[in-house]
Amino acid sequence: MKKWFKSGTPWIWLNAGAIAVCILMVASIILLIASRGMVYFWPKDVMVADYNEPTQKKVLVVGELQNSKTVPAIVIKEGNENIPVPKDKLEFERYLIKESILKGDKYKIVFRTYLKDFLKSIQYPKNIVVVEQRSGGNFYGYFHAIKQKDSVIDKENIAGSLDKLLDRATELHDQIYEIEKDDIGTINYKKSNLNLEKIKLDFYKEKDIRKYQSLKISEAKLDAENDKLKTKLLSLRQKINRDILVFKTQDNKTFEINLANIIRIYQPNQLSVFGKSILYVEKFWEFLSDDPREANTEGGIFPAILGTVVMVILMTILVTPIGVIGAIYLREYAKQGVLIRIVRISVNNLAGVPSIVFGVFGLGFFVYVLGGSLDVFFYPERVDSNITTFGSPSLMWAALTLALLTLPVVIVATEEGLSRVPRAIREGSLALGATKAETLWRTVLPMASPGMITGLILAIARAAGEVAPLMLVGVVMYSPSPPIDLNPPFLHVDRTFMHLGNHIYGLAFQSPDSEAVQPLVFATAFILVMVIIILNLTAISIRNRLREKYRALEN
């Protein structure tokens, strides 16, 4: 046994076991997040029941049965928010709020917690319909009629006529959305630039009549184009508002929903597992590709995904040259002494500074001092008009703040990579007549590149999940203009942006109904983890290729 311990075999097994435990823990966390979040998109059956507590009147309950947190209670996702609440129902809700049984906001409640023993007459009607609306949440009811221009056109074959009408409304909605966001957005962007040109001419008191006339002509063309688009929009809205669906609620009241406000309609109690799987994929793709709605509690998270990826890539571009140059100087050129040891200690200590401190520094120095100075130097005419370009939180300052945050990681990893290059390689290059700079550029840096990319991997992993500093230097809950679009210069570093981490924070702590958004919090967290994994795997694949390429030189 003593000989076995001296051989080092137990420590090999101990390290392997520790790595296996770490991998198992990471996989378990990812699986937990995925199981809590991905279930949100699965279409659940709709139940109808009576809630009859002894001290209260009987109340009708219609909604989707969710997983409950406590054994004696169940959570039900309700809808029909656009229907006026009856007086007895309102009194019932206030009672539940008072007794702390109801979870959520009393004015707009999506999830309610009911005591299980008082739910009676539970049914799952086959013909009940779920209507996902663009605003107002879900509606649960039954088909009654289709109306066009206040006249009923169909009451018998509603399901057969609905697919064609819904496809028509979706196509018109997409046209309206494209005109509003792309065409009119481009015109507004150009008009904003023209307004800035006018401010510049007025500031410098230039009396160039040709410039003024040219600006007026350009503005008139944009106004004319804008009027045409508004006329087209008016025509499209009239077309999309033609069709109205009439539903009956569980208590036999009729309710009308315009097809323009409908995303999809389905009958979950009739769907097979295959049908629910197709619907699950559609809803998950909508979550990945659409813009958020209803204060970020509905719709998708595409702007947050785009903002996160663009910010990380921009941060990587900024931190790489600074970190590599700093490491090269400390390792290859600086005279090793007390000063360099102090610098290394400072770099290592910088890695332990709380991230919020970097956010405060970024806001104070990058935004107010540096950004304000750039505005005064490059755009003095905008200062008097309180128009800021660089002197406000934006993507550029957020990326620069995170670059400063991750700089110690890149410096340390690059130094480690440089130290692994054998001294004989340097001496051989110098002996063949190469200068020190040529040796460094053509031999040392390529061989140290795997270590440099290791630093970038660690920097990406930390920066992609940071939220606290970004809230001060550029991240917002909702940004109508993404940092990348089709308007020159295409990448707008002076704009604010959305971030997956901040999106999670807003859903978890700023939503009126914590029960309603809990699955979305887990789903968004899962997407954030997947984005980080994809970015890291991309960097790891590049590092492995470089390592294989220069392995022969090391040997």
Residues 26 and 113 placed together within one structural domain of the fold: no
Q: Residue 144 is inside which H or E element, if any?
A: strand 138-148
Same domain (yes/no): 319, 384: yes
Residue segments in the chain with a per-residue pLDDT below the cut of 70: 54-56, 67-72, 80-110, 154, 156, 206-207, 512-516, 550-555
User: Collapsing DSSP states into helix, strand and coil, what is residue 150?
Assistant: coil
Q: Is residue 444 part of a domain?
A: yes
Q: Are residues 11 and 118 in the same domain?
A: no
Q: Which two tokens mark 401? A: 């703040």
- Asked whether residue 9 falls in the same domain as residue 118, the answer is no
CB 78 within 8 A of CB 105: no
Let me know if residue 205 belongs to a domain: no
Strand partners, 64: 46, 77
Tokens of 204: 């410098």
Could you tell me if 371 and 409 lie in one domain? yes
Give the Cα separation of 119 and 53 in Å (integer): 8
pTM: 0.87
Final residue before a domain boundary, out of 124, 139, 166: 124
- Domain annotation covers residue 449: yes
Specify the length of the chain in residues.
Answer: 555
In a domain, 329, yes or no: yes
Write the CATH number for 369.
1.10.3720.10
Q: What pLDDT sits at residue 369?
A: 92
pLDDT digits (tens, 9 = 90+) for 432-458: 888 888 888 888 888 888 888 888 888
Contact 514, 103 (CB under 8 A): yes
Q: Looking at the domain assignment, is residue 430 inside a domain?
A: yes
Q: Are residues 345 and 431 in the same domain?
A: yes
Return the closest-CA partner of residue 539 out of 455, 464, 466, 465.
455
| Structure token pair of residue 530 | 């997947």
Q: How many CB atoms lie within 10 A of CB 168?
A: 15
Check whether residue 394 and residue 330 sit in a common domain.
yes
Q: What gap in Å lies between CA 120 and CA 48, rounded to an integer? A: 9
Q: Which domain holds residue 83?
A: 46-124
Same domain? 114 vs 32: no
Mean pLDDT (the chain) is 83
Q: Is residue 531 part of a domain?
A: no
Residue that terminates a domain, selected from 462, 481, 499: 499
Return d(Cα 242, Cα 391) in angstroms, integer: 47
Distance of CA 48 to the CA centre of its chain: 35
| Nearest partner of 80 among 43, 56, 108, judged by Cα | 108
Q: Do 375 and 354 fall into the same domain?
A: yes
Classify strands 151-154 and 254-258 as parallel, antiparallel or unpaired.
Answer: unpaired
72 φ, ψ to 5°? -80, 0
**Gyration radius (Cα) of the chain, Å:** 30
The total number of structural domains that make up the chain: 3
Task: Please name the helix (run of DSSP H) or strand (run of DSSP E) that holds residue 491, with its range, or none.
Answer: none
Could you read off the pLDDT of 236-284 as tens digits, one per residue?
998 988 888 888 888 888 888 888 888 999 999 999 999 999 999 999 9
Same domain, 99 and 17: no
